[in-house]
Amino acid sequence: MGCLISQLAAKFAFFPPSPATYQVKKRDDGKLVAVSTTSSMPISGAPDDPSLDVLLLDTKRGNKIVAFYLKNPYARLTVLYSHGNAADLGQLYDLFIQLKANLRVNLMGYDYSGYGASTGKPSEFDTYADIEAVYDCLETEYGVSQEDLILYGQSVGSGPTLHLAAKLPRLRGVVLHSAILSGLRVLCHVKFTLCFDIYRNVNKIWKVKCPVLVIHGTEDDVVNWLHGSGLWKMARDPYEPLWIKGGGHCNLELYPDYIRHLCKFVQEMENMTTEIRLEKIRQTLRLNKRSNSAARNSATKCCKVKCKRSSCFSCSKPNCNSCCWWPKCSACQPKCPEWRPRCLECIKPGCMKCSFWCTKCSCSWPKCSCSCTSSCC
């Protein structure tokens, strides 16, 4: 049953353009070129464009996927772009050109299995294998290390993006564009995770150790703005988010704030040296150490939660049975090693060495609910 529902969710998640907007052909010299299916012309405009590499990559799940690598001679960083569910590389090429020039980066885009000229059928785990194959290509063929890489995930592309980001602890940054908390949360608007849910980004975002920029439109009627807000709040190192007022799901690139804020993020990532990153890690560790120390110190004090139980007689701290069976402060905790609670109604200490026992309910006397008349020692 879970597999059937998972397959049904996958059908709702993936909408590859049909037919594809481009084809991949091999020239006489062996170089691959992407040709538009409508005009039979290279999508780059020039048959010998040195700034574009068309690649055909093998994945570990047996598919061959198409990737575009756009080179910028002035780039210091590389962006790995995972697109949304209703587009392919032929439609995104113009956007890639703009991002490459405005952000001054190298850009690698790819089509998932079953999209464009890539083989296979789209599924959650195929997209994971797809992005891993692209990252391996960047690392081996172009010498791009994770320290110089920014992962960009749009809509469904946030799934493979966070899958890879959770595995790379030294990434430079992550951009989540109209991202989803999980597939089931988009379809059914639920607030919980089931075993057959797909793209459980809600369980992966906290594993990402680099800065995370979230971009989302406030009027997104496909993926509600609350998805982006939730991911931003759960990120370990959240960057200043961009909430585009009036923005929808597929038009955020048209707003001037989009490219302006994205340029600011990339520039800050370029200026983030290793020393700065290490200092941020040290600050995080110090904060965690302080919070753990504060938690340990608070454990030695009363919880200060008011409840219906009576107060401790040696101090004015309340005795709360919602988090402990006896008061935690040193002023009210008896020093007798045999001290222990005896009655679940009044939660009073009972010890033969320091108090008399009630003969009716076996609890120590002070303010017991039963009508005993013994006096405390």
Active site residue 82: no
Q: Which of 182, 162, 161 is nearest to 224 (CA)?
A: 182
CATH 1.10.10.60 corresponds to the domain 1-283: no
Cis peptide before 19 (omega within 30 of 0): yes
User: Cα–Cα distance between 233 and 25 in angstroms, integer?
Assistant: 45
Q: Using alpha carbons, list the distances in angstroms from residue 27 to 30, 64, 286.
A: 5, 19, 58
Active site residue: 82, 220, 261, 364, which one? 220
Number of alpha carbons in the 13 Å side-chain half-sphere of residue 264: 11
Q: In terms of pLDDT, which residue wins out, 311 or 101?
A: 101
Token duo for residue 340 = 């222990």
Q: In terms of pLDDT, which residue wins out, 3 or 42?
A: 42
Instruction: Say whether pLDDT at 66 is over 90.
Output: yes
Q: Where do we find the tokens 């991202």?
A: 179
256-300: pLDDT as tens digits? 999 999 999 999 999 987 667 667 667 766 766 666 666 555 544
Instruction: Say whether pLDDT at 211 is over 60.
Output: yes
The pLDDT score that the predictor gives to residue 291 is 61
Active site residue 220: yes
Instruction: Say whether pLDDT at 29 is over 70.
Output: yes
On the 0-12 / 13-18 / 19+ scale of CB atoms within 10 A, 256 is exposed
Token duo for residue 1 = 């049953």
Q: How many helices (H) and strands (E) does the chain have?
A: 8, 12
For 24, the 3-state DSSP assignment is strand
329-365: pLDDT as tens digits? 544 444 554 445 545 444 445 544 444 444 444 444 4
Instruction: Say whether pLDDT at 248 is over 80.
Output: yes
Give residue limits of the domains in the chain.
1-283
Active site residue 177: no
Please report which confidence band the pLDDT of residue 178 belongs to, taking 50, 70 and 90 as the band edges.
very high
Active site residue: 82, 249, 355, 364, which one? 249
Active site residue: 6, 82, 155, 158, which one? 155
Assessment of whether the complete model's pTM goes beyond 0.85: no
